């Protein structure tokens, strides 16, 4: 089993295949690591990744395990429930 221990660091270091994205607000619920739970703003500008915790309403809601599955390509990220 794989777990993300620090979602901000994980999202910051993930090898994205785009140079520009968002911003998008991701709502994460993580029962294993509650400190990861909450809303996270993700943006990519010119290949630079920006991740920060936010109080904004999530555009996409996922569970911690969905984040892991998506990152390991066992689930397509664009098919996350919204």
* Residues in a beta bridge with 24: 42
- The per-residue pLDDT string of the chain (82 residues; one tens digit each, 9 = 90 and over) reads 678 889 999 999 988 889 999 899 999 999 989 999 999 999 999 999 999 999 999 999 999 888 887 777 644 555 555 5
Check if the beta carbon of residue 4 is closer than 8 Å to that of residue 67. Answer: yes
CA distance 34 to 78: 24
In order of their start, the domains of the chain are 7-75 (3.30.1050.10)
Q: What is the pLDDT of residue 71?
A: 79
The count of other CB atoms within 10 Å of the CB of residue 70 is 17
């Amino acid at each position: 089993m794989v777990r993300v221990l620090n979602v901000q660091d994980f999202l910051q270091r993930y090898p994205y295949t785009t140079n520009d994205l968002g911003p998008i607000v991701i709502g994460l619920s993580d029962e294993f690591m509650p400190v990861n739970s909450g809303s996270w703003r993700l943006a990519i500008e010119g290949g630079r990744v920006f991740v920060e915790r936010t109080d904004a309403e999530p555009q996409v809601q996922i569970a911690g395990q969905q984040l892991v599955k998506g990152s390991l390509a066992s689930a397509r990220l664009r098919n996350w429930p919204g």
